[in-house]
Amino acid sequence: MAWSINKSILVPYDFSDHCMTAVDRALEIADTPSQVHVLHVLPTFVPLAPEGFPVEAIDDRVRLDAAHKALDEEFAESKYAGVSKEILIGDPAAITAERATAIEADLIVLPSHGRSGFTRLMLGSVAEQIVRHAQVPVLVVKIKAPHR
């Protein structure tokens, strides 16, 4: 079965090598790089220092500007020209599922970090949450762990 990608492919991106692998896979599937939409979701920031005092020097605008700069650096290579990049704030799984619907994506491509057991229980699985809540097909790219 061949996929027909008419609109876009959404790739949630957390600056890990695993996510870059997912972006590269999305580029392989897409007809053009302009169909690939990279989404980085910043977690909601609670502006309190460890002592409980407000931190006024860091706000969402500063965080968004830094994230935009970092994304531009990550995707500076010519093969990523045309890839759409977006940064939002909130819960990564919920925002990803909502954004896929909003942009009418044909597909979400995301990596599986391969966590299991206690680590998965404690960290949760963003990939699993996206699969459960997305209204569009999700391709989970299995990332093989290096052999030791």
- 54: phi then psi, degrees, rounded to nearest 5: -60, 145
- The answer, yes or no, to whether residue 142 has pLDDT greater than 90, is no
User: What is the structure's pLDDT at 122?
Assistant: 42
Closest CA to 89 of 109, 69, 59, 110: 59
pLDDT, average across residues 7-22: 92
- The answer, yes or no, to whether residue 36 has pLDDT greater than 70, is yes
List domains and CATH numbers for the chain.
9-142 (3.40.50.620)
- The answer, yes or no, to whether residue 46 has pLDDT greater than 90, is no
pTM (predicted TM-score):
0.82
Characterize the bridge pairing of strands 138-142 and 36-42. unpaired
User: What is the structure's pLDDT at 131?
Assistant: 87
